[in-house]
Amino acid sequence: TGYITYDPGFVNTGATSSAITYIDGDAGILRYRGYPIEQLAEHSNFIEVSYLLIYGELPTQTQLADFTERIERHTLLHEDLKRFFDGFPRDAHPMPVLSSAVSALSTFYQDSLNPFDEPSVELSTVRMLAKVPTLAAYAYKKSIGQPFLYPDNSLSLVENFLRMTFGLPAEPYEIDPDIAKALDLLFILHADHEQNCSTSTVRLVGSSEANLFASVSAGINALFGPLHGGANAAVLDMLEDIRADGGDVARFVTKVKNKEAGVRLMGFGHRVYKNYDPRAKIIKKTADEILGRLGKSDELLDIAKKLEETALSDDYFVQRKLYPNVDFYTGLIYRALGFPTEYFTVLFALGRLPGWIAHWREMMLDPARKIGRPRQVYTGAPEREYLEIEKR
């Protein structure tokens, strides 16, 4: 006491111990529960990775079947929750719609309010993973004025989400397995990233013993910002601006280097990675593959690659160790899959759910848990006398 470490942005502050995710930012290494992200991306699937993050081990066949079945049983929303969407303007951004809806889950599931009751935490976990994709699909349907589709639990989580997002009631929706696989992969790559801004938010809110829905809703709001999850949409806007400006990548890079009007190269740089983000490596390859398989060429992908090449050979970026991060190429894939730009960050949120849940649960069981309450260095006025309003 009496001595405060001043560390804006918590650059050097370890606020917790955690056994979930390991990052070596200098070497460009990312592991979930010890498993390299490259192996999980190649062999696993999103549900299995969710299980791994939350429970600590890869599931057996029986455990996976049980977990999957429990999630599938909870995809339906309460009918009254559907009406919740009527209150929002049609052009509302889907991120605040999603965070509000997740917050509202606490009102429907009051059994979620005790964060230490194990069976209800288990139920909230499953409800969160099952219902948030349905909420996300409804947020999209609302924005385009189409009817909501009930979940079809004969489909996998990702297929179901695609159908609820892009399907129509009177028409059978054909799932493109390439699209489902690409989305599943992107969810795996977003599933956790240790103490990032939104996860730290989930922990901070949860540290007051707020329930899982309230904590994750706060995490979604933290993810919304353009320096965090919102970067995936900002990258697309940036690429479109460059194209509209004649595709002059070098001119844009110069603008960034001169810090003109605070322009940043979106999708570049990371607090922890001072090397190529291992997720971005996989995503770049996937962007090429999926666009190729869907037979879509995208001028914006060419601009992105040129932008990357120009930046990586420029001293400004080399000296600052700025490399493409997870958000640099994801938007191009989401776009190829048919999602509008403002929906990209919602997809990030769906992928990050198991990470938020795993961290919240880990914290609740941590004997060293304390309410999050940072200190400050006061820089305001010294003590002064109150002056009546007539005398000011």
Residues in the site for ligand CMC, rule: CB under 6 A? 9, 196, 227-229, 231, 256, 264-271, 320, 322, 325-327
Angle at 139 between CA 138 and CA 143, to 5 degrees: 110
Question: How far is the C-alpha of 177 from the C-alpha of 181, rounded, in Å?
Answer: 6
Residue nearest to ligand CMC (CB): 269
The pair of structure tokens assigned to 150 is 């009930």
Tell me the two tokens of residue 225.
């910002």
Give min distance, CB of 196 to ligand CMC, in A: 5
| Three-class SS state of 32 | strand
Phi-psi region of 28 (alpha: psi -120 to 50; beta: other; left: phi over 0): left
190 and 348 in contact (C-beta within 8 Å)?
A: yes
Distance in angstroms (rounded) separating the CA atoms of residues 80 and 96: 19
Catalytic residue among 270, 314, 359, 366: 270
Q: By C-beta, is 167 or 267 nearer to ligand CMC? A: 267
Q: Which is nearer to ligand CMC, 37 or 326 (CB)?
A: 326
State in angstroms the smallest separation of the CB of 218 from ligand CMC. 16
Q: How near is the Cβ of 205 to ligand CMC at its closest, in Å?
A: 18
Output the smallest distance, CB 120 to ligand CMC, in A.
Answer: 31
Query: Annotated catalytic residue: which of 184, 192, 277, 327?
Result: 327
Residue 193 is a catalytic residue: no
Q: Which is nearer to ligand CMC, 94 or 269 (CB)?
A: 269
Please identify, using beta-carbon distances, which residue of 91 and 315 lies nearer to ligand CMC: 315
Can you read off the two tokens belonging to residue 352? 């990050």
Is the Cβ of residue 141 or residue 270 nearer to ligand CMC in the bound state? Answer: 270
Residue 326 beta carbon to ligand CMC: minimum distance, rounded to whole angstroms: 5
Residue 354 tokens read as 């198991």
- What H or E segment, with its residue span, contains residue 35? strand 35-36
Complex with ligand CMC: residue 74 or 228, whichever CB lies closer: 228
Q: How far is the CB of 26 from ligand CMC (least distance, A)?
A: 14
Considering the complex, what minimum distance in angstroms separates the CB of residue 265 from ligand CMC? 4
| CB-nearer residue toward ligand CMC: 142 or 270 | 270
Phi and psi torsions of 350, nearest 5°: -60, -40
- CB contact at 8 A, 133 and 160: yes
CA 374 vs CA 112, 215, 223, 371, 377: distances in Å = 27, 18, 21, 10, 10
- Residue among 342, 336, 259 nearest 301 (CA): 336
Q: What is the radius of gyration, based on Cα positions, of the chain?
A: 22
Q: Are 230 and 345 in contact (CB under 8 A)?
A: yes
Give the C-alpha separation, 335 to 182, whole Å.
Answer: 12
**Angle at Cα 154 formed by Cα 169 and Cα 100, nearest 5°?**
65
Annotation marks residue 270 as catalytic:
yes
Q: Beta strand pairing status for 29-32 and 35-36?
A: antiparallel
Q: Hey, which residues are catalytic here? A: 270, 327
